[in-house]
Amino acid sequence: MHHYRYRSISEISLKELMYNEMFFASPEECNDPFDSKAFYEFKADKNKFKRLILFANENLKLPITQNLLEKLTNHICKLCPISFDDAIQKDLFSDFAAKSDIEIHITNRISKMIQQVLKLYNPPTRYFVSFSKTNSEPLMWSHYADRHRGFCLIFKAIDGKILQSHTQQKAQIRRKTPKGIAEDMSFGMPEEFEFKNIDYKSKVKHLDGFLHLPVYINGKAKNESEQKKIYDLQQKHYSQKGKSWSYEKETRLILNPPPSFLFGEHIEYTSQERLYHYEPSQLVGIIYGAKMELRQKQRIDEILKERENWININNNYKRIVFNFVEFQAKLSTNQREVEIIPTAIRNYNKITPKDKDFDRLFKEWKSGIGHERGKNSKLLSRGI
């Protein structure tokens, strides 16, 4: 399957092309304010809130009587349903009617500790690279390719994934973690990123806020099947958007953060930690925007020549190489449509539609045929 990445003409987008870069954006850097947000909500579960209070008091060791514990639990339950975000921001016992100075002291300390617990186990930030399953949506060209003056990169998934560059692979991140299980922690990065389709929903179905808290508070899953069901449900939230964005037909790569409870704090990646390099041979085409200037096409042509030389001469590792196809977008003269017209195949030389091999090679390209190259390869064709 092909995945399309719309780009405006800028030095940043041209760097993606030149240096095989992919930058995982944060939700704050995107135009949808709800992007990658999971909606967790606490319901009035007395047993779990009681365990949350006891968990918060584990290090404080305050003398909470059974009577006070019951009153604090009932007070929180009256605030429900309450979102995870609101629970972090709100002093849950701000209007609790304490009966003595000691109850006021205990309540204030417990409230602050509960906020710390919720901040530590707050649903983490996910980062992502966005693609589309369509190459001819006029709104995509207008919104993400500078009103048809930009371009669209075409990527070929291998087993549904984009691989990190073999020569520029980022294996891990390291942090000083004075609050973690060790003072210096590392977190392994995946060698490949799987494409996830975006599911467009008109309404949000809230997740149980206790799912993000320790097992002591939430309780164990009954079995592995239930645990997997809960995990899948959580992951789906990070791949959901509102119905109004459905024209994008988005698919994305997701970068997950390390578990905050291991690092002792809520971890957010730096910009450099979110910059990766994709396997160059998985970039298999480009579409020039209908209004792209000639000088910009000429510059991209120079970049593609350098890329082509590097891919063809580098045989130090085994990989699958695909033909590279150039397309021209054209605004239809009789419909409100964008036509995508193949103009050349780059295969050592440029092959145009007039050449006898063009139709055969283009059919192979559309079918996902690649050629194995590199050490000990047999130059076999393979359909992906």
Q: 285-340 pLDDT, tens per residue?
A: 999 999 999 999 999 999 999 888 777 666 677 888 899 999 999 999 999 999 99
Which 3 state secondary structure label does DSSP give 9?
coil
Q: What is the distance between the alpha carbons of residues 13 and 145, in angstroms, rounded to a whole number?
A: 10
Residue 51 CA to its chain's centroid (Å)? 33
Q: What is the distance between the alpha carbons of residues 4 and 14, in angstroms, rounded to a whole number?
A: 16
Give me 369's structure tokens.
């045929």
| Cβ neighbours of residue 62 closer than 8 Å, sequence gap 6 or more | 106, 109, 110
Res 308: pLDDT = 81
Q: What is the distance between the alpha carbons of residues 1 and 368, in angstroms, rounded to a whole number?
A: 7
Q: What is the dihedral of CA 307, 277, 167, 310, to 10 degrees?
A: 0
Res 380: pLDDT = 46
Which stretches in the chain have pLDDT values below 50? 379-381, 383
105-144 pLDDT, tens digit per residue, is 999 999 999 999 999 998 888 899 999 999 999 999 999 9
Q: What is the distance between the alpha carbons of residues 382 and 371, in angstroms, rounded to a whole number?
A: 6
Share of the chain above pLDDT 90, in %: 65
| Cβ neighbours of residue 269 closer than 8 Å, sequence gap 6 or more | 24, 125, 127, 173, 255, 257
Give me 138's structure tokens.
């006029």
Res 236: pLDDT = 81
* Residues 313 and 365: beta-carbon distance below 8 Å: no
Among candidates 251, 46, 250, 273, which has minimal Cα distance to 139?
250
Res 379: pLDDT = 46
